Structure formats: structure tokens, C-alpha cells
Amino acid sequence: MENKKIVYFDKNIFSQLKSGCQSEDDNKKIESIKKLEKIINSKSNFLYVYSDAHIFDLQNDDTNKKEEDFEFMSQIVDNNFIYYDVNKNQYILTNKSIIECFNNTIKFNSIYDKLNFNNLTESFLNVFPKITDEKIEDDLKNYLDLLQIFLNFKIPTKDFFKDYSEDILDLIPNEIKEKNYISYAELLSIFLNEFNNEIKDDKLYKDKKRKFKECFNKLDIEEKQKMLIQLDEFVKNLKFSPYANAIAPYILSDMINDNLSEKKVKFRNMNIDAQHSNFVKVVDYFVTNDNGLYKKSKELYPDSNILKLEEFYEILI
């Protein structure tokens, strides 16, 4: 692994490569196989990785071809799994097969049903795969228990929101604003419930997005800038992990910039795209042919190597 450049393909790339290699068009098939071989032969210089976002994409596939997908992806990424370790507060690269990861990962739509910020330790360990190392599990429990103490801390709601504009306050659920004091656990639970409902019913997110855009478009440039700064501070004040904090700007970009996506993406899929994009900052090359994911990632990480597949091939030559 020493001196190898880390490369992250989003699921879209694997799907396109696989489709090309199975094409009935002989020319397209031959060309795709050549490209796949070029990628595989570059492993002495590049380390190709996958993440739980790929697993969530695979869960979304209702065909009976998952075994094919596992096998095809493994040709490229081997067992190179990258993830965010909440206990160590850092991104980790480890060795885990795609099929093992798939079998041990909770369904994306179930995560937000089972997480409970009022009983974080138990719910977290129920949501995520069983940890076989007892020391790691004990360390994680200790970390979550300490985090629970913080989450139980109550804040004066009016003071918390006093510096936010009326436009932002209109977007905050009434059950938060009506309380004089609220714990971080209650606060997160309310937002998590909204988020969960929007995952299951895309119309709810579209309605929130419409209201937000109506509010945002009324503002002048200075007011818009102030609102974006306040929203950024609001997310940071909630004390999410760096991983979760990286998801919020992607969603905000989707709410504001329709021009960054040529197609309408379901809220569930957009969240998975946000998770893919989150890895831009920890890999050397992030490769996608999805125009929406490409443009949003470019906007959020302008100094990173975000490439289309053809651009990446030029590096391999």
C-alpha cells in the first residue's frame, strides 16, 4: 500500500463498466474490457477502495444480480474498505470483503428508525455490525456513554436561536421553538424523525426544499451569505461527527442549486450520494460520471481531484 494513490469510484462507475463489459455491442464490449484491464493492471500504483455508501447503493438494487456486482467490484477494489470510525474519530482503511460488508450492514432505511439519542449506546450497537474485539467494543461503549452525558445536557432554546434570522427560524420545527429548554438528545431526535420521514416519503423533502428556496430567493446577496453562515454554525453547534457534518453541506447544496443536477434524485439516493462525496477529502482521486454528484462535489471540494472516468483513464496511460 506504500506510496499508492487511493482511488474512489462511485457506484455509477462500477455499473457503467460492468454494463459495458456485458454489452451485446462487440466494439463497446471490447473497449470496456480493455478499460477494466487497464484499471486492474494499475494496482501497483493505485489502491481502489469502496465504502458503506456502495453497500447502501447495492441494497437499493432489487434485481437478482448482486452476486455479479460483488464479483465485478471485487476485481477492482479487492477487500479495500474505507469507513469513518466514530470511536477513533478518523477515517480507517481496512480489509473486508464486499459480501461480508453487505451481509453485516443494516438496511439504510432502518438506520434512522433504530437510532435513539436518549439511549445512544444500546441503539448504536444494535444498528451497526457486531464488534468482535471486546476491547474496541468496551472503548466504544465508554465513548458513547460520555457522549450521552453531553446529549442529556439541556440548553435554553431561545438563547440557542437568538442570533438566527426569522427566515431560518421559519424552517425550525415548532416543537423545538416552543420549548424553553431542550436537550441535545431531544433536538437531534426531532431532526432525525423529520429526516427519517423524508427518506420514506420524498414529497416531504420536496416540500421543505420548495419552502427553503422561496425563503432563500427573497434575500439579497448579503442576507443569503448571512443565512448560509448561520446554517453552517447551526450544524456545527449540534456536535455531529465530522462524517455527519460533511453530509449537511451536500444536502444544502441540493436545496439551493437545482442547476447542479440534471435529474431529480430521490432524497434517499441523494443522501447516499452525499456519503460518497464525503470521501473526496480523504482519497487522492474521486471518480464519478454522475453529473449531479460531480458538480456538487466540485462545488464543495474545489481543490480536490474529482474526475470523470475518461479523465482518470488519461492518468493511467
**Domains of the chain, each with CATH number or no CATH:** 1-105+278-316 (3.40.50), 109-200 (no CATH)
Task: Note the pLDDT tens digit of each residue in 213-222.
Answer: 877 777 788 8
Q: Which residues of 134-172 are buried (b: 16+ CB within 10 A; e: fewer)?
A: eeeeeebbebbeebbeebeeebebeebbeebeebbeeeb
pLDDT value of position 43: 95
pLDDT value of position 259: 57
SS3 94: strand
What rounded mean pLDDT belongs to the chain? 82
pLDDT value of position 239: 54
Name the β-bridge partners of 181. 156
Is 40's pLDDT higher than 60? yes
pLDDT value of position 2: 62
The winner for highest mean pLDDT among 175-179, 235-239, 254-258, 297-301 is 297-301
Is 21's pLDDT higher than 70? yes
Of the ranges 48-57, 90-99, 105-114, 180-189, which one carries the lowest mean pLDDT score?
105-114
Task: Note the pLDDT tens digit of each residue in 246-298.
Answer: 677 888 788 777 655 555 678 888 889 999 999 999 999 999 999 989 999 99
pLDDT value of position 130: 53
Task: Note the pLDDT tens digit of each residue in 72-84.
Answer: 999 999 999 999 8
Of the ranges 52-61, 103-112, 269-278, which one carries the lowest mean pLDDT score?
103-112
Q: Where are the alpha helices (DSSP H) in the chain?
A: 11-21, 26-40, 52-59, 66-77, 98-103, 108-114, 120-127, 134-151, 157-161, 166-169, 174-177, 184-200, 202-217, 221-237, 242-256, 267-278, 291-300, 309-316
Is 55's pLDDT higher than 80? yes
What is the rounded average pLDDT of the residues 92-102? 92
Return the higher-pLDDT residue of 190 and 238: 190
pLDDT value of position 283: 96
What is the rounded average pLDDT of the residues 194-209? 83
Report residue 236's pLDDT band, with 50, 70 and 90 as the boundaries: low
pLDDT value of position 19: 93
